[in-house]
Amino acid sequence: MTTPTRPLDVLLVEDDVADALLIEEALSERGARNLVQVTDGVAALEHLRDPDSVRPDLIVLDLNMPRMNGRELLQILKADEELQTIPVVVLTTSSAPDDVAGAYQGHANAYVTKPVNLAEFEQAVQSIDAFYLETATRPPRA
């Protein structure tokens, strides 16, 4: 595992408390992570547009949430010149072909179906973390 030069910032957009805790635990096992969790798209946009908030290195996005779902948020993010370059990984329970196709048509960077098995769930989250936050080259902070 490569040691990052700075703590990595992840915005988790997830309304399921249990899943959010599992994701946070899986990420913390891999090193220092600054994780901000919000429960819907409205709260995510408020966080992302707050001038005092740190721009995340990665957004992990659930599809099915109240107020503004992940599909709507993805569409807004990828149409916004300030936010469109932040990698977005959809992590959701749905494996429906329409959801997968819709996420990629909305310019999601990846689509991962949440495994039901706890160990596989943790491995999926750690794989996302390893690729986007350690393997892929990130742009320098502005």
| pLDDT attached to residue 5 | 59
* Tokens 């039901």 sit on residue: 116
pTM of the model: 0.90
Burial class (CB in 10 A: 0-12, 13-18, 19+), 23: buried
Banded pLDDT at 1 (limits 50, 70, 90): very low
Task: Note the pLDDT tens digit of each residue in 93-121.
Answer: 999 999 999 999 999 999 999 988 889 99
Banded pLDDT at 69 (limits 50, 70, 90): very high
Characterize the bridge pairing of strands 110-113 and 58-61.
unpaired
Cβ atoms of 45 and 11 within 8 Å: the answer is: no
